[in-house]
Chain A
């Protein structure tokens, strides 16, 4: 038994991002020196002055404590580590549709075998020769390695190649979404969701001209409908967006975007958010998924999110694209692991994150 006081989780509502933690020796609540509450979205620590509210939490929807596979309490050296645990646990809890079912297109029945998108596989194979510069993303949970890799991505030729990959994958999301709408019940809201995503990819600078965007994205997204949605029947971009597209919460669209799969990706991954959340909640995601195509869905989600808060590019030049990618990488880096937790905690987080895919 560890007698030196450390921070221990007393009660934890993992998917709700709330936890109580005490500074005390292992397995000894009576010698608690202080107890705090930590909750999303701010994750600031609120001192409680006594441990009883933390224990009471297990009367409602909090799990008691945090233990390793052997049932031993996991201790943390600092409150910062506990906050990181709560933060990444909360993000992992967003994987899968969660209670109440998914949003957007209904999840498909589990296929007999992996349902890869052959176009994505083929296109990424075709691009193999232009990503010779990419040295792999192994180890980027660690800040310094991450900074080095992200710096490499911003080199002009690397940036151009990365955008080519992003365009391939972005188009695959549009094709998959349109295909699902075509084969399932659809209504104005479902079409508007896809419209919103298409618009966002344009704002992110994936196409260098509106003509390319129209030939590529709009054709695949809407031509199956016959006449396109009225808000896409005009030339130009400004002034034709539907009112919903100006709503202030569109970042959450990543929870609705269907995720195309490569042949060796986990078939339980359904939404783009699944890829992003797996990558930011676990410490070793990129150690085992270390090629550029594995990074691309995560980058696409990051690019979409930072583009929400910014106007469309007036001219999607290489410089503008590089600046947008820099913003996306800065944002992504802040969402990825900020601290390495004790290995037993990292292991539990990884196990929990991947098990969330099973909740479908």
Chain B
């Protein structure tokens, strides 16, 4: 790969743990005092390695799709041609291309994609409900990718030729059991400002995932309701619902979209209760971010 445009440490082929050490060494060589950088790496490692409260694979899902999943216990990927919007879907040419670049091969049709999250409610763009998968379902060799794999199709990663692209893909991959913690720390380091304080668990949660920025998980196993640890949603959803209802108290009728949206949320609540699944309201990890 062209070392002049991509960071030679971040995009190195070395193990993720060695990249962290190289990053800290570079900071030290650049004259940065590193006690708090060292300390923050230690804090992140301690937070991320706790089995009960550590990172989870999460999948966001909308209300209708979640209700369908609750009804059928059959979560599909696109290669299984689920019915979406009234007709059977096929993988797009972009998806086939990305999966080829990732080297998924025959596993593509059996791969279920998610993200890594430490608390929080996942990637809102893909649905207001965030399904946290039980760690026991995520095998140790489950593959991770440092970012949205579709970034491979657009600058600055796109257009580098097969060999260099393959190297980039190799550099950005990891495995759940041996690389997860180091990948997450490495992802956080470039965005960690020089600090004179130790960071909090809420900071770590936000550094690992924010908006559409996340570490991708490629799970090669079907997901059933029995593999769901809990369902999470963001406090903002509860706030929006409350806002709709409070306008009504002021004699403003909700729109039909709002009525359907609130009705779907209530159906989800009932559906989850029937299946014994817990719905938790959380924005990030850390006590200050939990609503219940």
A contact set with B: CB distance below 8 Å: 12-18, 20, 29-30, 37, 39-43, 46, 48, 50-53, 55-65, 87, 89-91, 93-94, 98-101, 103, 248-249, 251-252, 254-255, 276-277, 280, 305-306, 308-310, 327, 331, 334-335, 351-352, 355-356
Chain B nearest Cβ from A68, distance in angstroms: 13
15 A-B pairs with CB atoms under 8 Å apart are A13-B84, A18-B62, A18-B125, A40-B260, A51-B154, A52-B154, A56-B126, A56-B150, A56-B212, A57-B126, A59-B77, A61-B62, A99-B64, A100-B71, A276-B256
Q: Is B113 an interface residue (CB 8 A)?
A: yes
Q: How far is the CA of A60 from the CA of B76 in the complex (A)?
A: 8
Whether the pair B253, A100 counts as a contact (CB closer than 8 A) is no
Cα distance A61–B80 when bound, in Å? 12
Choice from B59, B86, B252, B255 contacting A41 with Cβ under 8 Å: B255
Could you tell me if A91 and B59 are in contact, using CB atoms closer than 8 angstroms? Answer: no
Find B262's partner among A56, A61, A89, A252 (CB 8 Å cutoff): A252
Contact residues in A for B95 (Cβ distance below 8 Å) = 55, 58-59, 64
A63 touches B263 (CB 8 A): no
Least CB distance, A3 to chain B, in whole angstroms: 20
- Whether B65 pairs with A52 at a CB distance below 8 angstroms is no
What B residues does A61 contact at CB under 8 A? 61-62, 65, 82, 84, 126-127
Contact B67 A13 (CB under 8 A): no
CB distance from B125 to the nearest CB of A (A): 5
When distances are taken between beta carbons in the complex, the residues of chain B under 8 Å from A351 are 86
From residue B128, how far is it (CB to closest CB) to chain A in Å? 8
Count of residues in B whose CB is under 8 Å from the partner chain? 57
B258 partner residues in chain A, CB cutoff 8 A:
41
Knowing A16-B62, A64-B89, A249-B263 are in contact, say whether A87-B70 is a contact too (CB < 8 A): no
Given contacts A55-B150, A99-B70, A280-B256, contact A352 B86 (CB under 8 A): yes
- Complex: chain A residue closest to B150, CB-CB: A52
Query: Is the CB–CB distance between B154 and A50 below 8 Å?
Result: yes
Residues of A within 8 A of B224 (CB): none
Docked CA distance A12–B41 (Å): 39
Contact, CB under 8 Å: A309 / B253? yes
Q: Whole-angstrom distance from the CB of B263 to the nearest CB of chain A?
A: 4
> Given the complex, which residues of B lie within 8 Å of A90, measured CB to CB?
257, 260
With A248-B245, A248-B248, A249-B266 as known contacts, state yes or no: A14 contacts B148, CB within 8 Å. no
CA distance A249 to B258 in the complex (A): 10
**B252 touching A15, Cβ below 8 Å:** no
Give the shortest distance, in Å, between B116 (CB) and chain A (any CB): 14
> Which A residues are CB-close (under 8 A) to B84?
13-14, 61-63
Contacts of A334 in B (CB 8 A): 255
A57 to B113, CA, bound (A): 10
Q: Is the CB of B62 within 8 A of A252?
A: no
- Report the Cα distance A249→B246, complex, angstroms: 11
What is the minimal beta-carbon distance from B248 to any residue of chain A, in angstroms? Answer: 5
Task: Known pairs A16-B63, A58-B92; list 9 more (Cβ under 8 Å).
Answer: A41-B257, A53-B212, A55-B150, A58-B95, A59-B113, A98-B67, A309-B248, A351-B86, A355-B86
* Across-interface contacts of A277 in B (CB, < 8 A): 256
CA distance A308 to B253 in the complex (A): 8
Interface centre among B72, B92, B113, B125 (most CB of A within 10 A): B125
Mask, B115-132, CB within 8 Å of A = 1, is 000000001011100000
With A and B bound together, what is the CA distance between A222 and B259 in angstroms? 28
CA distance A61 to B61 in the complex (A): 7
The residues of B that contact A65 with a CB separation of less than 8 Å are: 92
B contact residues vs A (CB 8 Å cutoff): 59-65, 67-68, 70-72, 77-78, 82, 84-86, 89, 91-92, 94-95, 98, 113, 123, 125-127, 148-151, 153-154, 212, 240, 244-245, 248-249, 251-263, 266-267, 271
Neighbouring B residues of A48 by C-beta, 8 Å: 212
CB distance from A325 to the nearest CB of B (A): 14
Contacts of B150 in A (CB 8 A): 51-53, 55-56
Contact B255 A42, beta carbon cutoff 8 Å? no
**Interface core residue of A64, A87, A100, A351 (most chain B CB under 10 Å):** A100
- Closest B residue to A255 by beta carbon equals B263
| Chain B proximity of A208: nearest CB distance (Å) | 23
Q: What 4 pairs across the A-B complex have the smallest Cβ distances?
A: A16-B62, A52-B150, A252-B263, A99-B68
| B259 A251 Cβ-Cβ under 8 A | yes
Pairwise interchain contact B86-A14, C-beta atoms closer than 8 A:
yes
CB distance from A251 to the nearest CB of B (A): 4
Q: Do B261 and A41 touch across chains, with their CB atoms under 8 A apart? A: yes
Residue of B nearest to A53 (CB): B212
Determine whether the beta carbon of A55 is less than 8 Å from that of B65.
no
Residues of A within 8 A of B254 (CB): 251, 305
| Max chain A Cβ within 10 angstroms of own Cβ: one of B78, B150, B266 | B150
Provide the residues of chain A in CB contact with B267, threshold 8 Å. 100, 103
Given contacts A52-B154, A306-B253, A308-B253, contact A100 B271 (CB under 8 A): yes
A residues within 8 A CB of B82? 61
Closest A-chain residue to B265, C-beta based?
Answer: A249
The residue in chain A whose Cβ has the minimal distance to the Cβ of B151 is A52
Assuming A40-B257, A305-B253, is B85 touching A352 (CB within 8 A)? yes
Query: Per a CB cutoff under 8 Å, which of A37, A52, A94 touches B153?
Result: A52
Chain A residues whose C-beta falls within 8 Å of the C-beta of B85 in the assembled complex: 12-15, 63, 89, 352
Which residues of B lie under 8 Å from residue A352 when comparing CB positions? 85-86
Question: What are the residues of chain B within 8 A of A56 when measuring CB–CB?
Answer: 113, 126, 148-150, 212
Q: Are B251 and A58 in contact (CB under 8 A)?
A: no
**Assembly CA distance A166 to B124 (angstroms):** 42
A64, B92: Cβ atoms closer than 8 Å: yes
Most chain B CB atoms below 10 A, which of A13, A87, A89: A13
